[in-house]
Every structure is written in structure tokens, then in C-alpha cells.
Amino acid sequence: MKIIFILVLAVFVFSCTSVVAQNDSLPFIKGVYGNPGTLLDAGYSFDSLGMNAVFVRSISLTREFYDTARKQGCRVYVEFPALNGKNYLKDNPEAWPINEKGEQEPPADWFMGICPTDPGFKTYRVNQLNDILSEFDVDGIFLDYLHWHAQFETSDPILPLTCFCNRCTDRFEKNLGHDIPGSRIPEKAAWILNNADDEWRSWRNGVLNGWVKDMREIVKKKQPEALLGVFYASWYPADHDSALYRNLGIDVAELAKLADVLSPMLFHKMKGRPVEWGGEYVKWLGDLTNAGENNAPLIWPIVQAHNSPGVITANEFRQVMMEGARQPSSGIMMFSDQSLLQDPQKIEVMKEIYWSEIK
């Protein structure tokens, strides 16, 4: 019975998944995101699980882990937390994102973003990236938390408007080409939102794109063959009153021109979406970016294995993996290693898919 099931599933996968990556030098990427070293600690090996890639948080990257991953045939991609500013803000309050009232915007659930125009923070991240690239030969750097302060990993997102600090309003004023009326932050913010809203949203998107360009330049200068990937909120442009662009500051079409890989965060349960939505989003993204054509970014989704909210069963995990691997996807990973270890059935699902179905 199991053999018949695998054969049937293989036929299904052949019909709906990418056979090879758009980059002929890459196989279909089969990875785990987070701190995959916990799988090693639990007695597993990456090669026995059918993995050919790890997506490791920068704080979990060690020489021992790196060497082991290489020996077990894995490409090493490093997650880089671009605008996650919680720890930095403890000693650098000048980088706190400011709302339209002129107040420090509080944490959005567990996440605390940062003002992306703060030069000290930019230098801080640039130094961290240079350190990683100087110590490790990586296959890619994946920017994470690339958005203005907000929380989108929920069906009820937290979507403040920031940043209206004096530094941001001064920079926007120069971009606008004339003075912004008012002497206090609330006055300036009110004028911007009432009189230059479109220009302000465009400027905010440009700030984020500037981060991508700068990080890409560093990566390509130090390691030309390394890929630059981006994890981002997998909303459609009109979702939540166009919050992807208007609040988070992300224009996916523009991002596709700057990144080598797009990794939409297909966290269906967190977003209150059905399982099938993952495959639908991948197709939409492929159409938007002209996947498969020259200069189009690769698409490597990250899907949810994490049991929150609710429980994701092993069977549901299988479904979301298969949806995320649909064409034109050329890679897949899941969030996260801990979710696999909490349910060994999910490890078996991943192993079966990686060994039997996706080539």
C-alpha cells in the first residue's frame, strides 16, 4: 500500500513541481530554516534526510556547523535579520521608529523594528555582514525582516505607520523638493499623510530598496557567486488595504529586480489561509516576475511547520510542502527545525518528500 501511495504521489508531484532550478547549476533546493544544527544534535544527518541546503540564522552559524553541513553535501545560506532592532534599541534609542503622534511606536507583538534611516544601525548591520562574509564562504545571504516596523505573521496584523522621526522627515523633505509645514512631528506627519501620501509611500519603498542594493553590493563584492535572497510577507498587493506596500514598504515587482531569490513566507495558518493558497501564491508570484526568463529571480518559498496558531498535522505539513514546491518554485524549506523535532512524523514526511518526490 505504501509503495502504491508513493507512486501516486510522485505522479502528482511530477505534474506540479519544478524539476530543476532556473539556474542550471542548481538542483531543486531542499532545505530547513532556523537552527538546523538541532537536527544534528538529535542524531540526524542532513544527507540522510535528503537535504541539500540549510538556511541558518546568522546567530546560529558556527564553524563546526558550517563544516558539518559542507561535509554532508549541503549548500549554506545565511539568514540576515536586516531591520530587526530589538537588541540594538536597548542602547540606541535614537533609532526607535516614531509614529504620527511623535511617540515611540511600541513593539508589534514580539517584533520590534527599527528606523531604517538610522546611520548607526546601518553601519552596525554592514559590519555584521562583512564579518560573516569574511569568515565563511556562503552560497547566499537571505535578508529577513526587510520591512518598516509592523507585524504580519498573524491573521490580524499590526500595521502602524512609521517613521516620522526628524531624520526621516528631513530626508523626505529633501526628496519632495520643498519644505514640510509644521514645527512638531505630529504637525509634519499630518501634513505628509494629507498632502503627500503617495510620495511618502514611494519614498519609504525606496529606503528599503536602498538597503537591498547596499547589502547586495557587499555580498557580490566579497563573494560574487553568492546569491542574495529575501524573505518577505506573502500578501497579495491588495491584502489588508494594500498594507504590503503602504505599511510594510514592499513592492514585490521592484524587489524582484534586486534579489536573486524571492522567498515568500507562506505561513498559511498564521495568515488564516487554506493549504491550497500556497500553490496559488507561488503561481501568482511566478507570473508577476516572469519566472524562468533571463534575470528573473528564483522562487524558494518557506512554508509553515510551526504549530501556532493551532496544530499543523503531519499530513497538513505534507500538503503545504507540496503546494510550496509547485511550479515555478525551484526550492523549498520550512519554518522551522524545532517544529520538526517536536513531531518526528513531520521529519519522516520531509525525508520522504526530499528523497522520493522532488528531484
The pLDDT of residue 10 is above 80: no
Give residue 73's region: left, alpha or beta (phi > 0; psi -120 to 50).
Answer: left
Q: CB atoms < 10 A from the CB of 277, how many?
A: 18
Per-residue pLDDT of 184-203, as tens digits, reads 999 999 999 999 999 999 99
pLDDT band at 357 (very low <50, low <70, confident <90, very high): low
Phi, psi values for residue 158, rounded to 5°: -105, 115
Which grid cell sits at 118? Answer: 538610522
- Going by their DSSP bridges, the two strands 227-233 and 331-335 should be labelled as unpaired
pLDDT band at 15 (very low <50, low <70, confident <90, very high): very low
Q: Span 28-357: which CATH code?
A: 3.20.20.80
Per-residue pLDDT of 277-332, as tens digits, reads 999 999 999 999 999 999 999 999 999 999 999 999 999 999 999 999 999 999 99
Per-residue pLDDT of 27-44, as tens digits, reads 999 999 999 999 999 999
* Residue burial 64-84, b: 16+ Cβ < 10 Å; e: rest: ebbebbeebebbbbbbbbbbb
545560506: which residue's cell? 77
The pLDDT of residue 8 is above 50: no
Residue 230, C-beta contacts closer than 8 angstroms, at least 6 positions apart: 142, 143, 146, 212, 255, 259, 261, 262, 263
Residue 24: the pLDDT is 61
pLDDT band at 23 (very low <50, low <70, confident <90, very high): low
Residue 289: the pLDDT is 98
Per-residue pLDDT of 52-66, as tens digits, reads 999 999 999 999 999
- Going by their DSSP bridges, the two strands 302-304 and 298-299 should be labelled as unpaired
Per-residue pLDDT of 127-184, as tens digits, reads 999 999 999 999 999 999 999 999 999 889 999 999 999 999 999 999 999 999 999 9
Predicted TM-score (pTM) of this structure: 0.93
Q: CB atoms < 10 A from the CB of 207, how many?
A: 18
Q: Distance (Å, rounded) from C-alpha 39 to C-alpha 186?
A: 50
Residue 4: the pLDDT is 40
CA 315 to chain centre: 25
| Cα-based distances in Å from 200 to 112, 157, 170, 195, 197 | 22, 22, 12, 10, 5
Residue 18: the pLDDT is 34
